[in-house]
Amino acid sequence: MTTLSDPDHTPARQVPSAMPIILDGAAPRDRESPLLEGLNPQQREAVLYRGPALLIIAGAGSGKTSVLTRRIASLLESREAWPSQILAITFTNKAAAEMRERVRAILGQGADGMWISTFHSSCVRILRREAESAGLSATFSIYDSADTKVTLKRIIKALDADTLGFTPGNASAKISKLKNELADADSYARNANMSDPQEVMFVEIFRQYTHRLRAANALDFDDLIGETVYLFRAFPKVAALYRRRFRHILVDEYQDTNHAQYSLVRELTRPVEPDLAEEMEATGVHVRNLRDASGGIPGASLTVVGDSDQSIYAFRGADTRNISEFERDFPGTRVILLEQNYRSTQNILSAANAVIGHNFDRTDKKLWSAGGDGEKIVGYTAYSGHDEAQFVSDEIEVLHRAGMAYRDMAVFYRTNAQTRALEEILVRSAVPYRVVGGTKFYERAEIKDALAYLIAVANPNDELALRRILNTPKRGIGPATETALASFAEANQISFRQSMRDCASLGLGPKVTRAILKLATLLDEAALKLDPENPAGTANVSELLTFLLDGSGLLSLLRGSRDPQDEARAENIEELVAQTKDFNKENPDSGLVDFLTQVSLVAAADDLDDASGTVSLMTLHTAKGLEYEAVFLTGVEEGLLPHQMSANEPGGPAEERRLFYVGITRARQRLYLSLAMTRAQFGDINVAMPSRYLQEIPVDLIDWKQSPGMANSRGGTQPRALNARRDGFGGGFAGRGDPQALPPAPKKKTEWASRVPSQVRDNGDLTLMQGDRIRHVDFGDGRVNQVTGDGTKRIAHVQFDTVGAKKLLIKIAPIEKL
């Protein structure tokens, strides 16, 4: 067993107090420490307070990282703790590295020896040291999510569990959820309905997965925390060593902790009983200076920093009760509120306060800024998702021309499916962007799969597309069968598609042969739908894609999965279906090849370079912890925010409201809220209603460029929100009891400046110069003011006669030179 021989084995004269970690009130100081410079009173108190437990409720942008690092530095500077007595836990390696560097910048090498790491990294160090007690080899492997899914795939295949709907994805998600609740296969089985075949099968999958990990001397990421908790509970002497060592434990983002992480913190902060302390002293582990009057070692001082209003990871097991019930769990807790915000303008903060105030079971706080009111929030109701994307693109260009760098702007959305329209418009408008924490829409595997079906119909000789869909979704067609089909085609000088039709000659077995023939027949039937002489008429792109998705089961399989990632994949494919419907409407005379050409041109557009960086596109969940000068929060509609899957779940609307709050508080200076009148959902174009959360923002904070009231059938006299007032006044969107504040009725218009370019072209040979006159399919005539960039990245800066200034990526813009 590890003895943890550390610098804290020192004579009492080197320690400032017999109980260095429990000093009630502020730590004594002979002089003002430079660490306190620039802190507001609440931050100062959080740095100086000494007691058994400290809860810092840190509002968005309130300087919590600075407080946490200065608190650590203060403990070391005052010699109340050795570096090795401090354990600081963060949620990401990036946050841990940043905290470590900040403390080192203050104290230099004096900070070496601290444990500043993630939950998982800390647990790995403990488990490798105590591997023998944990029943492991010190060289145990750590399985990532891919390793877990490969292992589960083999188990599911051996058990034929796929017949009951199990996939590596949904089995992995359920096992992870249980492990985060510190449940194992046996404890789950005790409460499971064992008369349900699905439950019986899951228990067997869970047991076999656990057995395979142990046999491989491996742990997965969830095991790292759970096994450490089990270790401490099963071996009190081991736990006592770490409770003695870590006298100050600090946890960042405490609102995001799950049950296993909470349990780990509890185990580390328990006191060491007198008999164990006596035994440790007798075996040479020095604890004399740490013992209290009872002879035991008091629990470590615990500092947690968090904000229940920013808890948005319930789907990962995060439990807001860990922070809301902290005072009950740790008696004698001191609570400090950090409400002064150093990031956003007051208008943005007032909106955030108003929204989050509708959640209950939270510590009430009001964020405020000393930096002034700032610009009003801009609201915009688009006619469609594409129109919304064009508004975002145009406003980005307005900000950029005013001097704001692209890197200081971000676009947020609730679901990945929303990126399709945004990406298309940004590409066509020559706005450099990057998708943060995700994949570009056309690069997503499920979109490539769906497009491969269309390509296989349009071009029967495309072997790459055929191979991609051969076993997608799973049909029991493995690599060996794929190779046999290719060899048969080559030997007989026929196409891969023809070899699929003739697969009965290969002796592959009835099940595999039927699967291949069924796919070949589906593709042949789809091809017939494009035949101009088809008596039923020629199918459009949307009808063809729907037929292929239904026949292949690609979409229904994703919809029926219990894996949350499959739910997102299904939404992406549904967005592709909606795109085909838009294409049919905008290009009634175009067919499948034209659609695939348009998609390939947009998808293949080179990433643009700009000296001021790129606009960041990301989901609201990804946005946590980031900040930007300007934020565009899109899709603020019922069904998206709150999301339809969460709206009817217990706690769902409150969590979605926290997500909205997080999005609002990422903005420093400018915030844009946008929604659409119509939105593609489940492959159909549906009327979209404004989010209930919009009504929670005071009307005087939002400047509606086009309000929900202006985009309805009532001539602008009433808002369209489902829960809006219907008394003739404007509810949350117009005036509150003031008819004069109602938005004006919209002017009759057949075209609008942000109309979406509906076509793309391959203009590889087109040369434009300053002064050239051009004609755009949608924007009309204009004059080229400037051409920038090189090769495929050439950008035309055009002043159009009717819609003003636009930027166009020359390579794909639907333009001609006059």
More confidently predicted of 563 and 285: 285
Indicate if the pLDDT at residue 78 is higher than 90: no
Q: Is the pLDDT at 539 greater than 60, yes or no?
A: yes
What local confidence, expressed as pLDDT, does residue 325 receive?
A: 85
SS3 686: strand
- The reported pLDDT for the residue numbered 310 is 84
Cβ-contact 299, 221 below 8 angstroms:
no
HSE value, Cβ hemisphere, 13 Å, CA-based, for 363: 25
Among the listed residues 85, 151, 167, 310, the single catalytic one is: 310
The pLDDT > 90 percentage for the chain reads 35
Q: Decide if 778 is catalytic.
A: no
Q: Give per-residue pLDDT as tens, 60-70.
A: 899 988 899 99
In whole angstroms, what is the distance from residue 667 CA to residue 814 CA?
A: 35
- pLDDT for residue 755 is more than 70: no
Residue 11 or 702, more confident: 702
Quick: pLDDT tens for 496-518.
999 999 988 888 888 999 999 99
Residue in 624, 666, 692, 806 annotated catalytic:
666
Q: 212 vs 148, 223, 598, CA distance in Å?
A: 10, 13, 48
Is the per-residue pLDDT at 456 higher than 70? yes
For residue 64, indicate whether it is catalytic.
yes
| 104-108, 396-400, 465-469, 604-608: least confidently modelled range | 604-608
pLDDT digits (tens, 9 = 90+) for 613-638: 899 999 998 888 889 999 999 999 99
Read off the pLDDT band of 671 (50, 70, 90). Answer: very high
CA 32 to chain centre: 42
CA dist., res. 514 & res. 504, Å (int): 9
pLDDT band (50, 70, 90) for residue 1 = very low
Return the C-alpha torsion angle 169, 173, 175, 176, nearest 10: 130
Region 280-284 average pLDDT = 85
Active-site residue, from 80, 222, 227, 253: 253
The rounded mean pLDDT for the chain is 83
Rounded to an integer, what distance in angstroms lies between the CA atom of residue 412 and that of residue 315? 19
310 is annotated as an active-site residue: yes
pLDDT at residue 589 in the model? 80
Strand order in the sheet with 248-251: 115-118, 86-90, 248-251, 301-306, 53-58, 334-338
Please write the tens of the pLDDT for every residue from 764-794: 778 888 888 988 888 889 999 888 887 777 8
- Mean pLDDT, residues 282-301 taken together: 87
Residues 423, 284: Cα–Cα separation, whole Å: 65
User: Is residue 795 scored above 60 in pLDDT?
Assistant: yes
Q: How would residue 408 be classed by pLDDT, with cut points 50, 70 and 90?
A: very high
Q: Write down the catalytic residue from 64, 343, 581, 657.
A: 64
**If you average pLDDT over residues 283-295, what whole number do you get?**
85
Query: Is 65 one of the annotated active-site residues of the chain?
Result: yes
What does the pLDDT read at residue 682? 56
Name residue 413's beta-bridge partners.
619
- Find the catalytic residue in 45, 80, 220, 252: 252
SS3 letters across 586-628: HCCCCCHHHHHHHHHHHHCCCCCCCCCCCEEEEEHHHHCCCCE
Q: Compute the distance between CA of residue 405 and CA of residue 366 in angstroms, rounded to an integer.
A: 31
At residue 681 the predicted structure's pLDDT band, cuts being 50, 70 and 90, is low
Q: Where are the alpha helices (DSSP H) in 402-444?
A: 419-428
Q: What is the mean pLDDT of residues 361-385?
A: 89
CA distances for 670 relative to 423, 659, 786, angstroms: 21, 18, 28
Per-residue pLDDT band at 684 (split at 50, 70, 90): low
3-state secondary structure of 376: coil
DSSP, res 135: T
How many Cβ atoms are within 10 Å of 787's Cβ, its own excluded?
A: 16
Cβ atoms of residues 250 and 72 within 8 Å = yes
The four Cα atoms 617, 619, 620, 624 give a dihedral, to 10 degrees, of: -80
User: What is the rounded average pLDDT of the residues 567-588?
Assistant: 85
Cβ(756)–Cβ(725) below 8 Å: no
SS3 call for 474: coil
pLDDT of residue 100: 85
What is residue 31's predicted lDDT score, i.e. its pLDDT? 60
pLDDT for 6: 46
Report whether 416 contacts 438 (CB < 8 A).
yes
pLDDT for res 746: 40
- Taking only the tens place, the pLDDT of each residue in 151-177 is 999 899 899 998 888 888 889 989 999
End-to-end CA gap in the chain: 83
pLDDT of 300 strictly over 80: yes
Question: Rounded to whole angstroms, how far apart are CA atoms 332 and 734?
Answer: 48
Asked whether residue 8 carries a pLDDT value surpassing 50, the answer given is no
Residues 633-666 have pLDDT tens digits of 999 999 899 888 877 777 889 989 999 999 999 9
Give me the residue label for tokens 């809301």. Answer: 324
Cα distance between residue 209 and residue 197, in whole Å:
18
666 has catalytic annotation: yes
pTM above 0.85, yes or no: no
What is the arithmetic mean of pLDDT over 394-411? 94
Question: Counting Cβ atoms within 10 Å, is residue 782 exposed (0-12), middle (13-18) or buried (19+)?
Answer: buried
- Residue 25 pLDDT exceeds 80: no
The strand pairing partners of 338, in sequence order, are 58
Q: Is 237 a catalytic residue?
A: no
Burial code (b: 16+ CB inside 10 Å, e: under 16) for 476-501 equals ebeeebbebbeebbeeeeeebbbbbe
- Size (the chain), residues: 818
Among 188-192, 375-379, 457-461, 723-727, the range with the most confident prediction by mean pLDDT is 375-379
The residue annotated as part of the active site, out of 65, 210, 340, 538, is 65
Q: Is the pLDDT of residue 402 over 90?
A: yes
Q: Which amino acid is at 25?
A: G
The closest of 598, 634, 679 to 428, measured between CA atoms, is 598
Nearest 5°: CA angle at 793, between 790 and 794? 65
Among 272-281, 306-315, 391-400, 746-755, whose mean pLDDT is lowest? 746-755
Residues forming beta bridges with residue 386, ordered by sequence position: none
Does residue 735 have a pLDDT over 60? no
What percentage of the chain exceeds 70 in pLDDT? Answer: 88
pLDDT recorded at residue 815: 85
* Whole-number pLDDT of residue 605: 65
Weakest mean pLDDT among 233-237, 439-443, 448-452, 748-752: 748-752
